[in-house]
Amino acid sequence: MNDFRLPLGDGAKAVVDWLTTSAEGLFSVIKLILNGAFESLNFVLAEPPFWAIIIVLAAAAWLAKGWKLAVGTIIGLLIIVGVDQWEAAMNTLALVLVASIIALALAIPLGILAARNDTASKVIRPILDFLQTMPAFVYLIPALMFFSVGAVPGIVATIVFALAPGVRLTELGIRGVDSEVVEAGYAFGSTPGRILRQIQLPLAMPSIMAGVNQVIMLSLSMVVIAGMVGAGGLGGEVVKALNRIDVGLGFEAGVSVVILAMILDRTTGALGTRTKKRKPAAAAVVAKAEPETAAPVAA
């Protein structure tokens, strides 16, 4: 065998060790913030009676798509209650929402930056490729070293894993806006910021909403992995069933994950469809971007 070996692992270990010792205070603050957000949202979802949360989620589904999705949401959530997985499901929903909100707060600005700056796009794309292809379990190793066991390392790993599609679809949506519409906005004297807010973002919203949907779905796919580091919820139930070789518990927790995924997917997908249907015409967007100020042409 060749004695030569690239010290990639040693380098990664050295970086993580250095961060663990030199940035301990920063990680403590991050852990405090993430844990506080998770515990607060989990309290809001888990403490009220289950029927109250079902009514709220069904109302959101009805507003998003209509009564059929609302009825399906009610039936699905009642199944979760019936298999005694309600508290675990709300724990999982809180983790997914916190991770998704933070991932989107990072992804959308990065997508805008990549769409408006070719150099930034060339730098960001290989990083996203790396994040998407790296096995999700690998993210748990430094997360555990930085934040110990609990919900926080699961949230951090979920954020990193789910970030990429939000960036890619935001960039794709903005770059896909008709260049003639953008040029018309500049011709009316609009600033780049106003063109972004009133032309590019409205027209790119269907693609951005598709990114929101994918971020949420990828966050849910990390539920079981997060459960392995003490995040609890349905992932913790699946891990418990695996350790006990309990087929019944595993099936019930798995079905509960599927129900949550279907509700979130249909609701966010419906919001994206509604956004697409309301997509403004190019002339209307340009008119909104800048009032007509041109002087009348002399006869």
* 257 against 136, higher pLDDT: 257
CB distance 168 to 111 below 8 Å? yes
User: Degrees (nearest 5) of the Cα angle 34, 104, 233?
Assistant: 45
pLDDT tops 90 at residue 98: yes
For the stretch 70-91, pLDDT in tens is 999 999 999 999 999 999 999 9
Place of tokens 């998770």: 38
Q: What is the pLDDT of residues 133-187, one digit of tens each?
A: 888 778 788 888 888 878 888 888 889 888 999 999 999 999 888 888 888 877 8
Whole-prediction pTM = 0.84
Predicted confidence band of residue 279 (pLDDT cuts 50, 70, 90): low
Q: For residues 25 and 30, give the distance between their C-alpha atoms in angstroms, rounded to a whole number.
A: 9
CA-only gyration radius of the chain, Å: 23
Q: What span, in angstroms and rounded, lies between the C-alpha atoms of 64 and 215?
A: 18
Q: pLDDT tens digits for 20-47?
A: 888 888 888 988 999 999 999 999 998 8
Q: Is the pLDDT of residue 257 over 80?
A: yes
Give the whole-angstrom CA distance, residue 253 versus residue 233.
9
Judged by DSSP in three states, 159 sits in helix
Q: State the helix-helix crossing angle for 86-116 and 67-82, rounded to 10 degrees.
A: 130
| pLDDT above 80 (res 268) | yes
The two tokens of residue 214 are: 């994918």
What are the structural domains, with CATH classification, of the chain? 20-289 (1.10.3720.10)
Q: How confident is the model at residue 124 (pLDDT cuts 50, 70, 90)?
A: very high
